[in-house]
Amino acid sequence: TGCALTESVPPPDPYLTQAPDEVDNTWSLTDLQNTVTQAETAGGWQQLTFHHIATGLTDPLTISPTLFTQFVQWLKTRPATTTVKTVDQV
């Protein structure tokens, strides 16, 4: 709450960039999609942090491979103005 939806490109401080909380096991496909569509509306850079993509881990910073695959497949359908890059590429 109170944070910008996206970071500017280039960021004012490349070592202190704005991003939502890391993706964890409470996130749904709808949560991931909403984060992207809100960023598309706002413009700028949206960083999503995935710590673990696995099954059987008890770490709360883990999402399932199924959820990640669904999200990536959905991302492929986004408009050409939305691109996926690593932090280094941005």
**Confidence tier at 52 by pLDDT (50, 70, 90):** very high
The residue extents of the domains of the chain are 1-90
- Express each pLDDT in 2-34 by its tens digit: 677 899 999 999 899 989 999 999 999 999 999
* 6 burial level (CB within 10 Å; 0-12, 13-18, 19+): buried
Query: What's the chain's average pLDDT?
Result: 92
Over pLDDT 70: what percentage of the chain? 98
> What global pTM score does this model have?
0.90
Is the bond preceding residue 10 a cis peptide, omega within 30 degrees? Answer: yes
**Confidence tier at 1 by pLDDT (50, 70, 90):** low
d(CA 41, CA 74): 17
